[in-house]
């Protein structure tokens, strides 16, 4: 039986593992892909104290740091179910059952993709998902934001201060963002909003993005926009499908946590992009992972006194 079993090996899970292992308690990490989303990241320039690194290097550094401690890492294993109780069970897709006094869920999230030609080919070469991360790479360039919900309009406002021009593309006939964001957007002179538009292809020269095509859903006509970057902002999906019915989730599927990272189930904690904590960033996931680890340690010392 583990004292703490961490499900997910991204920045949040790695930080949680280091914090619990340093308390001298038996720690395990089960991860589908140790490293998490940073494995898909090209350059990282906003992890404080590391001026610049790339995703692969960062993921290796995470793993090396965790391996400095006595942590049982079970990589390429997916959790399929959690059973709460004094001793919690985590079932894996491969049929194993892991037992732990406390669990930290840090299974992260994934960006919803538009699934058009060019998106995968030019990912990290002009196709981006995170304006806080990649916005500055497009300084002085032309970009499109796909999606007119809150995240898309926020991204357009944010990017308008950095890039030369933003084209915001919305599938529906109207933007879906809050009125206050739409009003702000309307004041920006370097933003053009195109509604009722379905993105059909992201173009490039074989190395990087140079344009985008969309179909006007009213006229059926196809148009091309020349640009250097495309930010896809149609939603971040938390990896919580396996938790439905056991742990309380928000309407967006994120795990509800309190100030110590505790979920609706006693002794089950959560951290990082999988939770309701806003602003999905590495530095935030790491901090939340540390917090959930301390929360679970606190829980263990209290429950063992019963």
Can you give the binding site for ligand FAD, defined by CB under 6 A? Answer: 7-13, 30-34, 36-38, 40-41, 44, 46, 78-79, 106-109, 111, 129-130, 133, 239, 242, 272-274, 280-283, 285
- Which CB, 5 or 212, lies closer to ligand FAD? 5
Question: Which residue lies nearest ligand FAD, judged by its C-beta?
Answer: 108
We find the least distance from the C-beta atom of residue 171 to ligand FAD, in angstroms, to be: 22
Per-state percent for the chain, helix, strand, coil, to nearest 5: 30, 30, 40
We find the least distance from the C-beta atom of residue 267 to ligand FAD, in angstroms, to be: 19
- Which CB, 7 or 191, lies closer to ligand FAD? 7
Among 32, 39, 31, 69, residue whose Cα is nearest residue 56: 39
- Which CB, 283 or 294, lies closer to ligand FAD? 283
We find the least distance from the C-beta atom of residue 164 to ligand FAD, in angstroms, to be: 22
- Would you say 254 and 261 are in contact if contact means Cβ atoms under 8 Å apart? no
We find the least distance from the C-beta atom of residue 75 to ligand FAD, in angstroms, to be: 8
71-75 and 27-31 as β-strands: parallel, antiparallel, unpaired? Answer: parallel
- Structure-block tokens of residue 80: 């399929």
Per-residue b or e along 148-165, where b marks 16 or more CB atoms closer than 10 Å to that residue's CB: bbebbbbbbbbbbebbeb
| Count of all residues that appear for the chain in the document | 306
- Which CB, 77 or 191, lies closer to ligand FAD? 77
Quickly count helices (H) and strands (E) in the chain. 6, 19
We find the least distance from the C-beta atom of residue 22 to ligand FAD, in angstroms, to be: 18
1 SS3 class: coil
We find the least distance from the C-beta atom of residue 256 to ligand FAD, in angstroms, to be: 15
Residues in CB range of 234: below 8 A, 6 or more apart: 112, 114, 146, 147, 149, 152
285 SS3 class: helix
- Which CB, 68 or 93, lies closer to ligand FAD? 93
- Which CB, 227 or 274, lies closer to ligand FAD? 274
């Amino acid at each position: 039986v583990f004292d703490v079993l961490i499900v997910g090996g991204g920045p949040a899970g790695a930080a949680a593992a280091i914090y619990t292992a340093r308390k001298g308690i038996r720690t395990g990490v089960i991860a589908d892909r140790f490293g998490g989303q940073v494995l898909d990241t090209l350059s990282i320039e906003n992890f404080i104290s590391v001026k610049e690194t790339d995703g692969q290097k960062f993921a290796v550094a995470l793993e090396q740091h965790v391996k400095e401690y006595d942590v049982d890492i079970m990589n390429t294993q997916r959790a399929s179910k959690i059973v709460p109780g004094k001793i919690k069970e985590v079932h894996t897709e491969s049929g194993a059952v892991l037992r732990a006094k406390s669990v930290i869920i840090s299974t992260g999230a994934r960006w919803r993709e538009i699934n058009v030609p060019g998106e995968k080919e030019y990912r990290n070469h002009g196709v981006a998902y995170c304006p806080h991360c990649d916005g500055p790479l497009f300084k002085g360039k032309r970009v499109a934001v796909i999606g007119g919900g809150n995240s898309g309009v926020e991204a357009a406002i944010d990017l308008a201060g950095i890039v030369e021009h933003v084209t915001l593309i919305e599938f529906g006939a109207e933007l879906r963002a809050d009125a206050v964001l739409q009003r702000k957007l309307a004041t920006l002179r370097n933003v053009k909003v195109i509604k009722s538009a379905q993105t059909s292809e992201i173009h490039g020269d074989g190395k990087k993005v140079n344009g985008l095509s969309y179909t006007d859903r009213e006229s059926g006509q196809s148009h091309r926009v020349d640009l250097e970057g495309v930010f896809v902002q149609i939603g971040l999906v938390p990896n919580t499908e396996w938790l439905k019915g056991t742990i309380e989730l928000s309407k967006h599927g994120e795990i509800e946590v309190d100030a110590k990272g505790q979920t609706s189930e006693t002794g089950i904690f959560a951290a990082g992009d999988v939770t309701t904590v806003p602003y999905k960033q590495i530095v935030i996931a790491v901090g939340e992972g540390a917090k959930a680890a301390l929360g679970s340690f606190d829980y263990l010392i209290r429950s063992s006194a019963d």
